[in-house]
Amino acid sequence: MRFLITLFILLSFSSFGQDAKAQAILDKLSTKMKTQKSFYVEFTANIKNTASGANESETGKGWVKGDKYYASYGDNTIISNGIKTWTIVKEDKSVYETDANEDDGESMNPKKLMTVWESGFKNKYDKEDKLNNEAVHVINLFPKNAAKVQYHTIILYISKTSNELKKAIMKAKDGTVMTYSLTKFTSNAAVEDTKFVFDIKKYPGYTIVKD
């Protein structure tokens, strides 16, 4: 769970010094994401550190509808109705409840995962490449305030044909490499509002911890 949180907690700073080609591709992708009334994603995430011998993987999926979202990462679940957010940690049998706006910068919101480039980074176009036999743009992101974060580079792989994020690699200062690979993306997926309703009755024996 911890490495996934590290992967997806990205601090917000103003962008500056953008590469024109990279920015045009990212703007196009942002525009596409803004047209989605809802979407569904599936992904795999891997953390590897040669020095420590760490090599862990998790699978995840998420539903987004407006400001609401439901996401699962391994054995953990996050539900937000746009007002409150509940992080359900199976290992601890705990539910952490926060205001959605306060939790906004720290939760693993699938929508944030799909728009990570929108603030806080310089960007630079690297090259065109192939990913699973699909042509992709490779774009590097560099945090504006590098001293305040534990990573130095995020590499995005964006499909040339579908204009979708396919893969993101985060390189940490301690040599850890985290890889997030999108395995499925469904635009305007049908999802009922009940998906974003937290029901403590479904988690017997869990303790609710309110912020």
Q: How many residues does the chain have?
A: 211
Q: Where are the alpha helices (DSSP H) in 40-126?
A: 100-103, 110-113
pLDDT in single tens digits along all 211 residues of the chain: 444 444 444 333 334 456 899 999 999 999 988 888 999 999 998 989 988 888 999 899 999 998 899 999 888 899 999 999 999 999 999 999 999 875 444 446 787 778 888 878 899 999 999 999 999 999 999 988 888 888 899 999 999 999 999 999 989 999 999 898 999 999 999 999 999 999 999 999 999 998 7
| Domain count for the chain | 1
Place of tokens 């525009």: 31
Domain span holding position 103: 2-6+14-210
Q: Which residues pair with 60 in a beta bridge?
A: 43, 73
Place of tokens 């850890």: 176
pLDDT of residue 86: 94
Question: What tokens does 56 get?
Answer: 């862990």
**CATH, residue 133:** 2.50.20.10
Q: How far apart are CA 206 and CA 49, in angstroms?
A: 33
The answer to pTM > 0.85 is no
pLDDT of residue 13: 37
CA dist 116 to 13, 27, 123, 141, 155, Å?
Answer: 12, 12, 12, 10, 11
